[in-house]
Amino acid sequence: MPKRRTILLGACLDTKGEEAEYLYEVLKDLGNEVLVIDGGIKGVPFFEPHIRREEVARAAGISLQEIQGIPHEGEVLMLMAQGIQRITEELIKEKKIEGMIGFGGSMGTLLWGTVMQGLPLGFPKVLVSTQASNPEVIKRVVRGKDLCLFNSPVDLAGLNPLTKSILLRAAWAISGMVQCEFEAMEEKTVALCAKGNVEGLTALVRKKLLESGFTPITFHGWGYGPLSLEEAIKEGLITAGVIELSNDYLEYLCGGTSYPPEDRYENAIKKGLPLIYVPGSCDIIATLPEDERFKERKYVKHNPSVWSYRTTKEELYDFAIKIGEKLKNGGKKITVLIPEKGFSIYDGEGKILDDEEARKEFIKGIKNFDKLITVKVLPYHILDAKFAEEVVNEFLRLYKSMQ
């Protein structure tokens, strides 16, 4: 028998009231308790919500009248998002809601998406949006969160068979999600961050960590995967340590398509977690096909949307200095392990992007920090099984030294 759960429904009741009422009734019919929070500011609400817009404004530290006098819609949106976020955080803390659903066009998407950025990983969140296929919206709204984004090919303006069908399916989705208990992180969890071109290493490391009594959680090293990793560390979901096998920070510095946060690598240090850094995939910058900035370089067509361009020795030296500056505050809780014979499936003797001199420049740069952090250069390719053993053994050494 499904448990009765409480879902927070976010809607702007002055412009999307009819649609919100329909969604409210569907959620109730599916056996949920529903709290409605109003994010509108101007027109008359279509029906009375449980949490009124005046309460939202007060939570943002301002009156509704003051908000209504602000001429810039973007400023208003961020103030309302701030108020809703604070109310939502309290509701979660007091265990009064088990999930959230919001919907809207461009403004509603940004409003509810901004709110959902503040919700913890594992907390069910569904956003129905007319802008879900817009890459800029995805970059702003989804980012590193486990947000379920429903694309509406029609405007959510009025009820018709299409809009009702979309809202109905979204209601079923959030209703199912809130029935699933989020498994508590009681195990010794280790975060891994890597790309597919070092999967041979990642798979071996995962296997050996499991055999050693740890629970590995792998984050993708491209796009917003590294942001998700940092969020997980901040939320306390990573309890035993971090093994970094990705080039995302290098890619970001060189203009590629990875988007790590400004505090990349810093949260593990703040939490006192052991951290292994391996320059995995640092032979490449992943970006769009036929990128004019890199047209003179060797490259690999990774897929129709992404090409991987060879990094230069200058870039790798500069990156080594920057990563050293990031890691040095962790002291001897940090180890950099360098596979001198190649950094990915593409790099190494006889491989398409081989550049031994570039690898040497990374080693030269990172050795500037070997009095502050542990730096080890190993005579292996990154995909050698012996290198995976070294990674796990060094992690275990760090972990035990900190117990």
The alpha carbon of 385 is separated from its chain's Cα centroid by a whole number of angstroms, namely 29
pLDDT of residue 133: 85
> What is the block-wise mean pLDDT of the chain (403 residues), using blocks of 10 residues?
89 96 98 97 94 97 95 93 97 97 94 95 95 83 90 93 96 96 78 96 98 97 94 95 98 94 96 98 94 92 92 98 96 97 97 97 98 97 98 98 88
Range of the domain at 285: 189-401
- Do 242 and 152 have their domain in common? no
- Do 159 and 224 have their domain in common? no
Please indicate, yes or no, if residue 344 is contained in any of the structural domains. yes
Tokens found for residue 389? 């053993």
- Do 169 and 196 have their domain in common? no
State how many domains the chain has: 2
pLDDT of residue 227: 95
pLDDT of residue 181: 77
Give the three-state DSSP class for 102.
strand
* Residue 12 and residue 40 in contact, taking contact as beta carbons nearer than 8 Å: yes
For 213, left (φ over 0), alpha (ψ -120 to 50), or beta? left
- 217 pairs with which residues across the strands? 191
pLDDT of residue 185: 64
- Do 197 and 148 have their domain in common? no
CATH number, position 390? 3.40.50.12030
- Do 194 and 293 have their domain in common? yes
The percent of the chain in helix, strand and coil, each rounded to the nearest 5, is 45, 20, 40
Please indicate, yes or no, if residue 105 is contained in any of the structural domains. yes
The pTM is what?
0.87
- Do 232 and 357 have their domain in common? yes
Please indicate, yes or no, if residue 212 is contained in any of the structural domains. yes
The alpha carbon of 64 is separated from its chain's Cα centroid by a whole number of angstroms, namely 33
CATH number, position 165? 3.40.50.12020
Burial class (CB in 10 A: 0-12, 13-18, 19+), 44: exposed
- What are the residues whose beta carbons fall under 8 Å from the beta carbon of 9, sequence distance 6 or more? 20, 23, 24, 27, 34, 35, 36, 37, 100, 101, 102
Please indicate, yes or no, if residue 184 is contained in any of the structural domains. no
Please indicate, yes or no, if residue 204 is contained in any of the structural domains. yes
- Do 261 and 295 have their domain in common? yes
- Do 162 and 228 have their domain in common? no
- Do 205 and 167 have their domain in common? no
Task: Give CA–CA dist 102/185, Å, rounded.
Answer: 28
pLDDT of residue 89: 96
Place of tokens 């949490």: 51
pLDDT of residue 132: 87
